[in-house]
Chain A
Amino acid sequence: MLRYVINRIKGSIIVLFAVSLITFFVLMIIPGNPAQLILGTDATPEMVEDLHVAMGLDKPLYQQYFGWLSSLLRLDLGTSYVYGESVTALIAKALPVTLSIAVFAMIIATVLAFLLGMLSAVKKNSFIDFFSRSIMQLGTAIPSFWIGMVFIVFFGLRLKIFPISGYVPMSQSPSGFIKSITLPSIVLAIGEIGTLLRIVRSSMLDSLKQDYMDMAKIKGLSSWKIYMKYALRGALIAPITIIGMQFAKLAGGTVVVETIFALPGIGRLVLTAVEHRDIVLLQGLVMFITSTVVFFSLAVDVIIMLINPRIKSVERGE
């Protein structure tokens, strides 16, 4: 088991290295001189040249890359032009915002998807199944900016239950924190629930058809035991993989929802970096987001291995 984890970590490091190469060179070949962008159109050529040298942009690309990579390994992602702050500090500040709504959204989506998915598989073609299938369609089809604005108008402006924008840190006011992340989390959850519900339902339907379900029925166990111990156990792998992917996606920042609700999260940083051609910030963010995805897919693999021990032995070649 440990060997499997170590092998997966090795693989992840190779992926991250490849990503660092691509990120660096793609952003470097984008036309436009960063020094010129920082100083604006009023700057004299001498000033631009000085900054160009100061930033090390006159050195050969490979030297720049290795310089960047070595500071990357020290978790130093450079300094953002726009904010004049270190990229690491900016990410550290934005991360709690993004993580809060990502965690809340995935909790909502997971609980509802499993509840509805299992019910609709067990009671196939019933009202609840019809209801779940409608949610699958709607959840996937409704754009999040629209549902976000509807929520702001209804819950924020009309009912005044939730603030319409902004983020309140937990340390400042726990109730304010919950209120500030409720609407964005629900909007994100609606976006993810359709896919997850579909996977839970189909895995569950598949598991219900397996021979072990016949055996559980013949044993005369309670329905709860039959469904929770036998059926659900056989239906976990695909949903967990999807949850991991969805969470990794949300943890890497959600530009649309963060923008609508004016939340200072990772998504907003990405937007700012792109708008202002802040290449240092953008490089740092891409590396951060990729690492998140790589980390979560690693975590999912380990979790699945714990649930389905068969993978362990396959990896060991037994």
Chain B
Amino acid sequence: MNENNDTVFVKNLSIKDGDKTLVSDLSMKIEKGEIFGLVGESGSGKTLTAKSVINLLPDNLQLTADEIVTAGKSLLKISENERRRHVGNNVGYIPQNTVYYLHPMIKIKNQIGDGYIYHKKKGKDEALRKASMLLNKVGFDNPENILNFYPWQLSGGMRQRVNIAMALMNDPKLIIADEPTTALDSTVQRQVMELFSQINSELGISILLISHNLGLVRHYSNSLAVMYAGQIVESGYTKEVFSNPKHPYTQLLIKIIPSLKIKKSEPLQEIPGYVQDSGRDASGCLFIERCPYAMEICSKYAEEHEDKGHYYKCNLK
């Protein structure tokens, strides 16, 4: 098994809330240096999956997995303390809603570097020098000023860039970006995504990009996985999946990406129905209720296919 070459390797991950299954039998891997897109509707379990990878699952949920490797270390084989230190030292996290991820009562300079100081055993001056350098890299011309601000004195886009700089402090092997552009307007969104691309190509950092925006993932990721109701229904190289989508859900998602050619009177397209939040441990296909091609066999069983890294779970051939 080539665990050590992959930045993330997850095998048969299940997450339960008591009797309720939230994520079932999920396996995925993120290769070193790639941008991996995780897409799906709200409630499909994208964030929970990402949180399992970085040891941040809420205490009330139960996790089982055969293997979770994050940045070269199996999280299941080490103690909670070691897990926390390993993740802190090797993973950067860029959250969705940026308002309170930075502590509102602490100046940027007093929170941006504390992970660096703790893990790399460096002094505060050195941490601030590095922070200034990174803030400059993420597009601030006057990083020293930014360091003296409180988070609420910055705009949403500025805060997100501070988060990105903070995620880069420890030279991580992996960055998890959970809907990183959702709260931003489209100009800033583009800037932030270009920044990710740049970080990825210049520093070789793997990025797990969680998004419900398929257009974004198509443009920026090398590989992707499509999640539905706590399962991965299709995964593979982005180009391959987009040019040859196998699962009806993926096909529908691609079909409804809003294009600029849309007419004013034309309603936005959608997939009818909702992602179910119960019965996710059923043996059949979970998309059956909304699938235009549903067959009788789909309620009992969904066949898994894998062809040169292109995986999908559907009875259609």
Give A contacts to B, CB under 8 Å: 210-212, 214-215, 217-222, 225, 229-230, 233-234, 307-310, 313
Which residues in chain B, 76-100, are within 8 Å of chain A measured between CB atoms? 84-89, 91, 93, 95, 97, 99-100
The 9 closest A-B pairs by CB, nearest first: A220-B88, A219-B115, A211-B100, A212-B103, A218-B93, A220-B84, A211-B101, A215-B101, A220-B85
Q: Which residue of B lies closest to A233 (CB)?
A: B105
Q: What is the bound-complex CA distance between A30 and B137, given in angstroms?
A: 75
Question: Assuming the A-B contacts A217-B56, A217-B84, A220-B87, are A309 and B118 also in contact, with contact meaning beta carbons closer than 8 angstroms in the complex?
Answer: no
B188-224: CB near A (< 8 Å → 1, else 0) gives: 0000000000000000000000000000000000000
Q: Do B54 and A225 have beta carbons less than 8 Å apart?
A: no
The smallest C-beta distance from A231 to any residue of chain B, in angstroms, reads 10
Interface bits B100-124 vs A (CB < 8 Å: 1, else 0): 1111111000000011001100000
Is B152 part of the binding interface, using a Cβ–Cβ cutoff of 8 Å?
yes
A214 touching B101, Cβ below 8 Å: yes
Known: A214-B95, A221-B88. Is A234-B105 also a contact (CB below 8 A)? yes
Q: Which residues of A contact B84 (CB under 8 A)?
A: 217, 220
**Which secondary structure characterizes the binding site on chain A?**
helix
Name B's A-contacting residues (CB within 8 A).
54, 56, 84-89, 91, 93, 95, 97, 99-106, 114-115, 118-119, 150, 152-153
12 more contacts with CB within 8 A, not counting A219-B88, A220-B88, A230-B103, are A212-B102, A214-B95, A217-B56, A218-B93, A220-B87, A220-B119, A230-B106, A307-B105, A310-B104, A310-B150, A310-B152, A313-B153
- When chains A and B are docked, how far (Å) is the Cα of A234 from the Cα of B87? 24
CA distance A217 to B99 in the complex (A): 17
Q: Which chain A positions have C-beta within 8 A of B99?
A: 211
A310: which B residues are within 8 A, CB to CB?
Answer: 104-105, 150, 152
Q: What are 30 A-B contacts with C-beta separation under 8 Å?
A: A210-B100, A211-B97, A211-B101, A212-B100, A212-B101, A212-B104, A214-B93, A214-B101, A215-B103, A217-B56, A217-B84, A218-B56, A218-B87, A219-B115, A219-B118, A220-B84, A220-B88, A220-B115, A220-B119, A221-B88, A221-B115, A222-B118, A229-B106, A229-B114, A233-B103, A234-B105, A307-B105, A308-B105, A310-B104, A310-B150
User: Bound state CA distance, A222 and B80, in angstroms?
Assistant: 12
Determine the chain A residues whose CB is within 8 A of the CB of B118 once the complex forms: 219-222, 225
Question: Which of B89, B93, B119, B150 sits near A215, CB closer than 8 Å?
Answer: B93
With a CB–CB cut-off of 8 A, which chain A residues contact B91?
218
* A295 to B106 alpha-carbon distance, docked (Å): 28
B89 to A220, Cβ gap below 8 A? yes
Q: When the two chains form their complex, are residues B114 and A218 in contact, meaning their CB atoms are under 8 A apart? A: no
Chain A residue at minimum C-beta to C-beta distance from B152: A310
Contacts of B97 in A (CB 8 A): 211
- A220 to B186 alpha-carbon distance, docked (Å): 33
For residue B167, give the distance in angstroms from its CB to the closest CB of chain A.
Answer: 9
Question: Closest CB-CB distance, B235 to chain A, in whole Å?
Answer: 25
Q: How far is the CA of A221 from the CA of B150 in the complex (A)?
A: 21
- The smallest beta-carbon distance between B68 and chain A, in angstroms, is 15
Which residue of B is nearest A217, CB measured?
B56
CB-based nearest B residue for A313: B153
Instruction: Give chain B residues whose Cβ lies under 8 Å from the Cβ of A212.
Output: 100-104
